Structure 1
Amino acid sequence: MDQGLNFFDTAESYQDGFSEERIGRALRGKRHQVFLMSKTYEPAHRDAQGAQRHLEGSLRRLQTDYLDLWQLHSVQSPQDVDLAFRKGGAMAYILRAKEQGKVRFIGVTGHRDPDANLRAIHYWDQGWTFDTMQMPINPVDFFQTSFQKKVLPELVKRNIGVIAMKTSADGRLLRDKLCSIEDCLRYVWSLPVSVAVVGMLNMAQLRHNIEIARNFYPLKPQEKQILLDRLRPHARPSLEWYKR
C-alpha cells in the first residue's frame, strides 16, 4: 500500500474464507485506503439466499460494512449465467445489495468460456446492469478461445470496467519460459483494461511488478506482433487449463 497498490482481490471461496480473514486482519485501520473486492460462488444453485449468505460472511471476515466491488464468481456456461440471472437468482440479490449500499459496484467473472461472459452481457443489455467483468487476458489468449477477441470489444462498447486476470496464463507462460512477466503485463496494460490482477508469491516478485508498473509504456504495434509471433507455435489448450 505504501507503494501505491490499493486493489485487493479475494473471494469467499478462497481457502474456505481464510483469504478474506487474512485480508481483514491486515486492513484493520486502513480500510479507507483500499479498493476491496470479493465474490460469490455457488454453482449448484446460484440463488439469492446463497449470495446473501456469502456477502454476510465476507463482510464479517473482512471486518468491514461494505465492499467496493462484489462479483458473481466464475460463470461456467450460458446456462450457468441463465441460472444466476433468473428471478430469485444470485444476480437479483447482487443488484439489491448495491441498492442497499452494502456494495458500491457489482460485476461478473468468468474464465472458462467467452460465450458465458457474452451471455452475461446479453442480460446487461436487458437492464441487469453491472459495472465490471473479470476475465483472462494474456498474450496466448489471443490464439485460443479468446476473451480479448470475443468479449473485450463488447465491454469497451458499453463502458463496462475490464479486470484482467490470468495475466501470465496462471504462471504457465513464465514457468515454460515462453515470455517474461514484463512481456505479459505490458501486453495486458496496452489493451483497454481497467486493472490487472497479478498473482505474486513473495516480496521480490511484488517489488519487481511494482517496478514494471512504474516504468510501463504501451507496446508498439511491432513489439506486440513480435511477441505474438514468438508465442504462436507454443499456443495449446494446456497452457490455459482453466478454459477447459
Structure 2
Amino acid sequence: MEENNGKQKISRRTALKYMGLGAAVIPASIYLGGCGRKSKDSGQIVPDLTNIPTDKMTYTTLSKTGDRISLLGFGTMRYPTVERQTPEGVRNFIDEEKAEQLIDYAMAHGINYFDTAWMYHQGESEIVTGKLLKKYPRNSFYIATKMPGSVRSREDAIATYQKQREKLQVDYIDYYHLHSLSSDERYERIYKEWGILDYLLNEKKEGRIRNLGWSFHGNQELFDKVLNEPVDWDFVMIQMNYFDWKHGRVPAEYMYNRLVEKNIPVMIMEPLLGSRLAKVSRAVSDMMQEERPNDTPAQWAFRFVGSHPQVMVVLSGMTYMEHLQENIKTYSPIVPVTEPQKDMLVKAADIIRTYKIIPCTDCKYCVPCPYGVDIPGVLLYYNKATWDSNLPNLEGPRDAEFQRASRAFLVDYNRTIPELERANHCINCGECEPTCPQNIKIPTDLLNIDNLVQQLKAV
C-alpha cells in the first residue's frame, strides 16, 4: 500500500466495496410503513401501499418518435446490492434476484422506460438491465443510456458506445444522452474536437439511436450554449423538483421554460433531490397535510414534477419495492397539483432552504474514495441528524438538550458509518470534487463533519 500524509491509500478494487452503503442511511426508513397514516415516531404520513393499480399508469406522447412512455421511469442507478467475497476482497454487486423482482413488477404495472448509464454500479448496471429486459419483447420497453464524460479519446468514446449496445443486448438505443454536461471544456473536447456529436448524429441517422439528447449539471451559460446548438435535440434531462424550481444552481424553472420555448420534451432527474424531499420538517408536513391529508411528502414531490405538461418522463432510482409501489400509485393516474398547491410548495422550498443541509443526492459519482471514505454515507448521515434535530449547536448553551443531541449524533454516527469509512480518513486529495454534479465542496464538508465529531468527543 502507498502512504500519503500518514493515511493508507487502498487500491481501487478494494475501495469498490464501499459502494452502495450510503443509500441505506436514509431512504429505507422514509418509505417503510403502513397505509396512509401518520408514523408514531415522526408524525410523517406513510404511504398507502394497498391496491397498486396495474392498468392506470399515466403515459405521455411527447416523444418526437411517437413513443407512448410511462410518466414514471425506472432509474437503474440504485439497484439493490449484495456483498460478495472476491479475490480482491469484499465487493458490492447488484442483487440480480431483487433487481429482477423490481423490473418485473415495474413492467407488470405499466412502467416501460428504463434508464441506465455506463458508470452506474461500476459498469454492471447496463449488463444487468439488458439481461433482465431481454425476456420481454423489444417493442414493449424503451431503454436509455449515456456517453460518459470519462472517455479518454475519440476511439475510446466510440468503443464505449459500441460496447453499450452489446451490454444492453439491443440493436438500437431508444434514448441516448450526452451524459451529465457540467464542463464547457469537456463538452468542447469530447463532442466538438473529437467529433463525437457528429458521430452520434450519424448513428441516429442510421437508426442505431432513435432519440438523441443530453442530461445537464452545469451553469446557465453552458445550458444556453448547448441548447442553442444547430441540432434538433429530441429531449433534455434536467434536475427538477419543487426546491430546485427556484433555488437550483440553474433554477429548474428557467431551464424548463427555455425547453418549452424550444418545444423540446423534458426528462426529470432527482424529483426527490436525493431523498431530501421525501422526509420534511414538521412545518412543511403540516402545510402538505392541510391540503391533502393522506399524501406523503414523496407523493407531493412526484406530483409537482409530473404536473408540468412538457415533462415526458420522471426518473426514480427505486431500491426497495416500497419505493416502486408508492411511485406507481402516485402516477396511476397522476393527480396534478393545482396552482395554489404549487404556491404552497414554493413556500415549503423557502422553509427547506433555511436548513443546514448538504445537497448530496446519493448519486455515488464521488466514490469509490481512494482512502475508503463512504462519502455519500457521511454526508447523508449529517443531513439525517439535521432532520432529526440531533445536530448539536456548538455555539449554544451546554444544557441538557445539547447533551442529548451530542450523544445521539455520536452514537448514531458510530453505528451508521464503519470506523474505516468515516470522515477523518479524508486527506483532502480532491479526487471526488470534480465528479460531483451538485458541486459540493466535499473535502471541506467532510473536514467540518469530522471537526464536529472530534469536538463532541472532547465535550
TM-score in terms of structure 2 length: 0.49
Contact 1:133/1:160 (8 A) holds in 2: yes
The change in CA–CA distance for 1:105 and 1:58 in structure 2 (over 3 A counts) is same
CA RMSD of aligned residues (A): 2.0
Deviation of the 1:217 alpha carbon: 1.8
1:26 maps to 2:143: no
Contact 2:359/2:438 (8 A) holds in 1: no
Tell me, which stretches of 5 or more residues in structure 1 are unaligned?
none
- 2:332 maps to which residue? 214
- 1:162 maps to which residue? 266
Give the SS at the match of 2:182.
coil
Structure with more relative contact order (C-alpha pairs < 8 Å, separation 6 or more): 2
The separation in 2 between residues aligned to 1:216 and 1:48, in whole angstroms, is 43
- 2:318 maps to which residue? 200
Give the SS at the match of 1:218.
coil
Q: In the TM superposition, what whole-angstrom CA distance separates every residue of 1:87-122 from its partner, at most 9, and x where no partner exists?
A: 533212211111121111111111243432222112
The separation in 1 between residues aligned to 2:131 and 2:319, in whole angstroms, is 19
Give the SS at the match of 2:180.
coil
1:102 maps to 2:208: yes
Question: What is the number of residues matched between the two proteins?
Answer: 240
Deviation of the 1:12 alpha carbon: 1.2
**2:343 counterpart (203, 225, 233):** 225
- 2:142 maps to which residue? 35
Kindly report which structure 2 residues correspond to 1:84-95, keeping only aligned pairs within 5 A, or say none: 84-95=190-201
Deviation of the 1:44 alpha carbon: 6.1
The separation in 1 between residues aligned to 2:155 and 2:212, in whole angstroms, is 17
- Percent identity over paired residues: 24
Q: 4+ runs of 1 displaced by more than 6 Å?
A: none
- 1:238 maps to which residue? 358
- 1:74 maps to which residue? 180
Deviation of the 1:42 alpha carbon: 2.7
The separation in 1 between residues aligned to 2:221 and 2:269, in whole angstroms, is 17
Deviation of the 1:10 alpha carbon: 0.3
The change in CA–CA distance for 1:113 and 1:43 in structure 2 (over 3 A counts) is farther
1:56 maps to 2:162: yes
The separation in 2 between residues aligned to 1:160 and 1:2, in whole angstroms, is 29
Give the SS at the match of 1:73.
strand
TM-score in terms of structure 1 length: 0.90
Larger Rg: 2
Q: In the TM superposition, what whole-angstrom CA distance separates every residue of 1:138-193 from its partner, at most 9, and x where no partner exists?
A: 01102322342222112111221110001111112224556611111111012231
- 1:8 maps to which residue? 114
